[in-house]
Amino acid sequence: MSDERYDFIVASNRLPVDRVIDDDGTASWRRSPGGLVTALEPVMRDADGAWVGWGGQADLELEPFDWDGVRIVPIKLSEDDLEKFYEGFCNDTLWPLYHDVIAPPHYHRVWWDSYVSVNQRFANAIAAVSSQGATVWVHDYQLQLVPRMLRQARPDLTIGFFNHIPFPAYGIFSQLPWRVQIIEGLLGADVIGFQRVADAGNFSRAVRRLLGYSTKSPVIEVPHRGAHPARRVIARAFPISIDVAGFEHLARSPEVQARARQIREDLGNPKTIVLGVDRLDYTKGIGHRLKAFGELLAEGRLKVEDVTLVQVASPSRERVETYRQLRDEIEQTVGRINGDYGTISHQAVSYLHHGFPREEMAALYVAADVLLVTALRDGMNLVAKEYVAARFDDDGVLVLSEFTGASDELRTALLINPHDIDGVKDAVMRAIEMPRAERRKRMRALRKRVRENDVTHWSESFLRALAEARRRAGETGGIDALGELEWTVDRAPRA
């Protein structure tokens, strides 16, 4: 490792770039979809920043390199790490556990061991590139042990952590055999951010129950232990968002507008296009959505000539068995609905098992009269926010599951409980039949809300809280007097 050092380090399991191999065999890096990089890129450039993460392929051993003004520090994950750390502990233990055990989590000690060792590898790499007193921002459930490991190695650092997925209620979290280690791992951070107020509450409760520390939202008192002085940790909600202006700009472009018209035409000019966009994941309630749509067709409340459901299901974690099974189930259901209700000229469900570039997504949002989000549990759901950002015409209806983080903010959507199939059906009918004036009123309110908290606002709020927490720690020997802090994102109403 060279002796390069940075003042601001972001760490996430995946790097913000994907490695692509061109036709002539040369490898290059392309910005991966997702807003995190958009939000952090300007901060990274200003602050002399580096991004530590995995390059997305097994056994990829690469030296740090520059990408678009950002220093990229790749971490190698072996085939064995992928199996035990990524597919195992991250996506077959933590993911189902943190999403309310919609699928059963599997607990294996060898997976845990791998989680510890990969987290340690990340912590070592971050420690090696951090300058004295640097700020480190660690992201998501794959790296929950990193804050503590890092604090032990480098007490001079300011450490933030943001959990992009839900944090479960104690009754569920307490299943985890390594629950204490996870909580202690996270408490190594100065500020721990969550999507919802409820997630931060669940975390603080777990801290009280498991460690007996006193908490008074948003402060957690970590008592003095051995050589480590007492500290105060902040745990609170910072709801993430998207690049709202960028998305709107894209949606307004003549190319995207033309493509949206073309999509409607290609679908046979239905009166209504209902859209679903998800990673193919069991947390997204795609089966519930298809059931509701199929029943509406069966009952004649919808006619296949009038309505098409476009379901984009991007491939995800395909080596994990639960995901394999889900794909089979969804594709069987789509096949059955199309077989039962499709005609030569009209398909009931247009199912697309691909990821699409941002431009195509924007065109789909512009074309869609209704966006249907039926997640059974979702940290935020940025698709809902993208749809709202794209609808500069103040039209379109958002049907949104109340089990998404987004539903805390997007209160004028048609909110649904996806388990209540009759309720979902009624909401879909109401969305399809909604008069223009009501659509406009609701969408305007949604757009105002999304504009108020875009991804830059999110990252600035988090980093401000982090800087403030550290400043007070420096002044008092512990983080103090938090009552005076202005918590700008506290405006999110409770669910």
Distance CA 49, CA 59 (A): 25
Total binding residues toward ligand G6P, as defined by CB under 6 A: 7
Distance CA 140, CA 86 (A): 13
Q: Does 165 contact ligand G6P by CB under 6 A?
A: yes
Distance CA 152, CA 449 (A): 40
Least distance (Å) between residue 7 CB and ligand G6P: 25
Distance CA 86, CA 208 (A): 29
Q: Does 322 contact ligand G6P by CB under 6 A?
A: no
Which residues 38-97 are close enough to bind ligand G6P by CB under 6 A?
91
What is the largest distance, in Å, between two alpha-carbon atoms of the chain? 74
Side chain identity at 198, as an amino acid letter?
A
CA distances from 132 to 129, 135, 262 (A): 10, 9, 55
Instruction: Out of 316, 322, 350, 417, name the contact with ligand G6P by CB under 6 A.
Output: 316
User: What residues form DSSP beta bridges with 372?
Assistant: 399
Question: Beta strand pairing status for 158-162 and 130-139?
Answer: parallel
Q: Does 120 contact ligand G6P by CB under 6 A?
A: no
Least distance (Å) between residue 384 CB and ligand G6P: 14
Nearest to 12 by CA among 104, 125, 166: 125
Q: Does 140 contact ligand G6P by CB under 6 A?
A: yes
Which residues 392-421 are close enough to bind ligand G6P by CB under 6 A?
none
DSSP 102: S
Which C-beta is closer to ligand G6P: that of 140 or that of 409?
140
DSSP-derived 3-state class of residue 322: helix
Which C-beta is closer to ligand G6P: that of 99 or that of 449?
99
Torsion of CA 192, 105, 75, 188, to 10 degrees: 30
Instruction: Out of 317, 439, 442, 472, name the contact with ligand G6P by CB under 6 A.
Output: 317
Instruction: Out of 5, 7, 14, 272, name the contact with ligand G6P by CB under 6 A.
Output: 14
Q: Does 164 contact ligand G6P by CB under 6 A?
A: yes
What DSSP line would sit under 426-452, residue for residue? HHHHHHHH--HHHHHHHHHHHHHHHHH
Least distance (Å) between residue 165 CB and ligand G6P: 5
Which C-beta is closer to ligand G6P: that of 165 or that of 222?
165
Q: Does 314 contact ligand G6P by CB under 6 A?
A: no
Q: Does 196 contact ligand G6P by CB under 6 A?
A: no
Least distance (Å) between residue 341 CB and ligand G6P: 32
Count the Cβ atoms, other than its own, within 10 Å of residue 434.
Answer: 16
Least distance (Å) between residue 380 CB and ligand G6P: 9
Least distance (Å) between residue 34 CB and ligand G6P: 8
Q: List residues near ligand G6P by CB under 6 A.
A: 14, 91, 140, 164-165, 316-317
